[in-house]
Amino acid sequence: MTRDKVKKRIEYLVNEVRRHQDLYYKKAQPEISDREYDALFDELLKLERRYPDLALPDSPTKRVGSDLDNEFPEVRHPFPMLSLDKVYTIDELESWIEKSRNDTGYDISFTVEEKIDGSTIVLHYENGILVRAVTRGDGFVGNDITENVRTIKDIPLRLSEPVTSIFRGEIYIDRKDFEKLNSQFDSIYANPRNFAAGSLRRKKSSEVAKIPLKSYVYEGFYGDVSIKEHLKVLHKLTELGFRVFDDVGYFSSTIKKEYDNIFKKHTGWVRGTYRDIDNFIIRMKEVRDKLPYDIDGLVVKINEYPIRDKLGYTAHHPRWAMAFKFEAPQAVSEILDIDVQVGRTGRITPVARIKPVWIAGTTVSNVTLHNQDYINSLDVAIGDVVAVSRHGDVIPAVDEVIEKNDKGNKTFRLPEECPVCGSKLIQDGAHLFCPNRNCPARIYGRISFFVGRGQMDIENLGPETVKKLIELGLIKDIPDIYFFNPDDLLGVEGFAEKKVKLIKEGIEKSKEQPFEVVLASLGLEEIGPKVVELLIEAGFDSIDKLIKTAKKKKPDIFTKIQGIGPKTAEKIIQQFNDPYILDMIEKLKKAGLKFSKGKKEKEEEYSKIFEGQVWCITGSFKNFKPRETAMEEVKKRGGKVVSQVTGKTTHLLVGENPGSKLEKASQVGAKLVTEEEFLKMLNEK
């Protein structure tokens, strides 16, 4: 096929696919079978892939997205996309309306629209074709996310008229879809707004296509002088093919006849005079919970564009619009700085230091920002004023930016290098990692996790002491805890003899921790207490068994265990084949830590040779010190143990220098057993 023919064929296919989509979805009258339709679609997709330069920007294939990684280049908005000023009470809102009327001196009217909890999008159309979609960003510069936005079903790729203009709207997700998907993606998003914003920035548009994002468009025709009233613009938007709110209120001094046609077409829209505004607001507050999506307030705008132009803008907001928020934020604070923390696995976590605020019973001064995607979804920068909340017992979260900083700070970007060791960071999933195992931050994280509560729980060896030990060069990694000499601490400030003694005791005592605790304390990826429990239940009751199996590199051995998925299996295999980790385990074994289930758990395995017998002990022994350990062996094998010889005593274990028990035992007819005979009995089975 010549290029010319390809071009024609692509155009033909685009029109056909679109026509059949219309017949199928809008008219419910398909003319061809699903298979025939799929064939057309696939042919179009193939041609577009072979001749990408001939692909049309409004091709229906754009809806399914692509598997190529998207870049989101920064784009300057042609004019500022400002946020709205906010009020929190009807009184404040009414005085703003009153003031606007007085200030302008004209007979102005107002529209009231839903303030949907989504992510703002700026849509550029040329001759009716969607050519660019940009996030709001800081209001001046946003990110080009066109490919992702093209997958959103209700955003027209082509308008009903060949207009060239810019439109502003909101991308959102229905509450029920958020709840369902947020749990699936082990997501970090606190609310549907952040989820929608995060979804829009997924690298692959084919993934965005799978998320049921929706849109409403509420501003347009910037610079177009032919339509001068907002209500008419809203109506025009619906004619062009955009989704516009079903509930729009319009309020003026008197009811205007010229809008009759508009209200006939939009039966959900309401009109009235100024005094009806508060009733409308109260009604919207009531219907709020019945909407399938979250709204956090209403937006009141002056209807007449010439008046809007006259009022203009402050540095941050238009003067012709006001957001009425249903609830004040729990707290408002300023982002003083953003720290970049490096965890024990190398994971990089940005943490916002905020001006301390009191929320739900505690002072909050640090808020996690999770990762770059999360930061992007908020478009947050140092110096921004933000709304912070804590819902239930949940960790505090930044809900949204309320006021951008005026220092020119841009949306925060995580560094490309580890802030502690300077290694180049690597991306794994949504997170960045420092790959350097010897990164001081990772070493500290690893050791303090190991000794911490819930893990080895080494008393008197807290994070501060760990820090000191590393500083002094006494320990360099986990196993050193068991090999350094705590006496070297004597003389160091804060380490008196008593404290050093307690540290020694704590370390010694930790050697008693059972296998499951030791294993989970290593802090290996995906191998937490839950997985350890599953492994042990499945028979992996020693580290040797685990390592031996991991060396076979067969993930299905592990995925067979219910509760262990492919990712965990892969990590188990990878880590137990890692010479560094194997070396660490070897050293800890030498230190005397338990790397298999202890004797106690093996009780069942002993045959009950002493069942029904009653044992007592006298004298001292070579192999049993203290002698009680000999009696433990009796108990394990089903025997009963008593401290004094009575008529019921059946056996007396007799060591060197026996006491009066020997005579008594002979009297009651108990069997006398020497240490040598006893050892033979124990080894029988």
Q: Which listed residue (26, 46, 62, 115) is catalytic?
A: 115
Residue 418 interacts with Zn ion (CB under 5 A): yes or no: yes
Check: CB of residue 638 under 8 Å from CB of residue 608. Answer: yes
Residue 425 interacts with Zn ion (CB under 5 A): yes or no: no
165 or 345, CB closer to Zn ion?
Answer: 345
Which range binds Zn ion by CB under 5 A, 192-200, 299-307, 435-443, 643-651?
A: 435-443
Nearest C-alpha neighbor of 116 from the set 171, 167, 177, 153: 171
Range 47-59 burial, b when 16+ CB lie within 10 A, else e: bbeeeeebbbebb
385 or 421, CB closer to Zn ion?
Answer: 421
Q: How far is the CB of 351 from Zn ion (least distance, A)?
A: 16
Which range binds Zn ion by CB under 5 A, 223-231, 241-249, 415-423, 534-542?
A: 415-423
Q: How far is the CB of 464 from Zn ion (least distance, A)?
A: 21
Q: How far is the CB of 208 from Zn ion (least distance, A)?
A: 32
Which range binds Zn ion by CB under 5 A, 31-39, 268-276, 436-444, 504-512?
A: 436-444
How crowded is the C-beta side of 621, counted as CA atoms within 13 Å?
21
Which residues make Cβ contacts (< 8 Å) with residue 498, sequence separation at least 6?
none
The CA distance from 568 to 561, in Å, is: 11
Strand residues in 118-230 grouped as ranges (E): 119-126, 129-135, 141-143, 165-173, 213-219
440 or 529, CB closer to Zn ion?
Answer: 440
Residue 414 interacts with Zn ion (CB under 5 A): yes or no: no
**Which one among 44, 197, 397, 434 touches Zn ion, defined by CB under 5 A?**
434
Which range binds Zn ion by CB under 5 A, 13-21, 134-142, 404-412, 418-426?
A: 418-426
DSSP label at residue 164: -
Q: What DSSP element (H or E) covers 76?
A: strand 74-76
Which range binds Zn ion by CB under 5 A, 101-109, 393-401, 428-436, 480-488?
A: 428-436
Site track for Zn ion across 119-158, x = CB under 5 A: ----------------------------------------
Check: CB of residue 218 under 8 Å from CB of residue 199. Answer: no
How crowded is the C-beta side of 343, counted as CA atoms within 13 Å?
15
Question: Which parts of 379-528 fold into alpha helices (H)?
Answer: 440-451, 463-471, 497-510, 515-521
Nearest C-alpha neighbor of 93 from the set 103, 85, 105, 81: 85
Q: How far is the CB of 467 from Zn ion (least distance, A)?
A: 16
Q: Count the site residues for Zn ion by CB under 5 A.
A: 7
418 or 532, CB closer to Zn ion?
Answer: 418
The CA distance from 101 to 124, in Å, is: 33
434 or 564, CB closer to Zn ion?
Answer: 434
Q: How far is the CB of 440 from Zn ion (least distance, A)?
A: 7
The CA distance from 190 to 399, in Å, is: 8
Backbone dihedral region for residue 244 (phi beyond 0: left; psi -120 to 50: alpha; all else: beta): beta
Which residues make Cβ contacts (< 8 Å) with residue 339, sequence separation at least 6?
350, 351, 352, 353
Q: Which two tokens stand for residue 420?
A: 């502690």
Q: How far is the CB of 527 from Zn ion (least distance, A)?
A: 22
**Which one among 84, 155, 439, 443 touches Zn ion, defined by CB under 5 A?**
439
**Beta strand 165-173 pairing with 74-76:** unpaired
Residue 421 interacts with Zn ion (CB under 5 A): yes or no: yes
251 or 433, CB closer to Zn ion?
Answer: 433
414 or 439, CB closer to Zn ion?
Answer: 439
192 or 523, CB closer to Zn ion?
Answer: 523
Q: How far is the CB of 113 from Zn ion (least distance, A)?
A: 49
671 is catalytic: no
Residues 621-640 binding Zn ion (CB under 5 A) are none
**Which one among 32, 141, 420, 591 touches Zn ion, defined by CB under 5 A?**
420
The CA distance from 682 to 610, in Å, is: 10
Q: Which two tokens stand for residue 241?
A: 């093919």
Q: List for the chain the helix, strand, coil content (%; round to 5).
A: 40, 20, 40
Q: How far is the CB of 576 from Zn ion (least distance, A)?
A: 24
Q: Which two tokens stand for residue 117?
A: 């909890």
Q: How far is the CB of 342 from Zn ion (least distance, A)?
A: 5
421 or 492, CB closer to Zn ion?
Answer: 421
Residue 375 interacts with Zn ion (CB under 5 A): yes or no: no
Residues that bind Zn ion in the complex, under the rule CB under 5 A: 418, 420-421, 423, 434, 436, 439
- Positions annotated as catalytic residues are 115
